[in-house]
Amino acid sequence: MKAMAISTSKLSLELKYCERCGGLWLRPVGGGQIYCVACGRAMAELPPASYEIRDVKVPKGPRWEEVDGYEGAQGIGGDAAGGAA
């Protein structure tokens, strides 16, 4: 989406939305700001992002082959009466 630019004899501004709150504000054309002033202050108070790579092990449950099939795991027989087809 193109930004709408406003020009005067000395200053050129463009309409920008804040990428945190979604509010609209004006910034200098080509400016790198992505947050409004209020959100920029709030983001500055947060600690810096950590890019430390961790070797996280996700615990795994039992494999499907180890369970006695869907009917056995759920306690439902394959020939149960009723229900939707």
Find out whether 23 and 17 touch, Cβ atoms under 8 Å: yes
Token pair listed for 64: 């499907």
Find out whether 17 and 4 touch, Cβ atoms under 8 Å: no
pLDDT score of 54 more than 80? no
pLDDT score of 78 more than 60? no
Give the mean pLDDT of the chain: 77
Residue 60 to residues 15, 41, 65, 83, Cα–Cα distance (Å): 49, 42, 14, 32
pLDDT of the residue at 60: 76
Query: Is the pLDDT higher at 33 or at 54?
Result: 33
The mean per-residue pLDDT over the stretch 55-61 comes to 76
What band does 71 get if pLDDT is binned at 50, 70 and 90?
low
pLDDT of the residue at 1: 47
Find out whether 24 and 6 touch, Cβ atoms under 8 Å: no
pLDDT score of 2 more than 60? no
Consecutive H or E run containing 71: helix 69-74
Question: If we measure between CA atoms, which residue out of 40, 47, 41 comes closest to residue 16?
Answer: 40
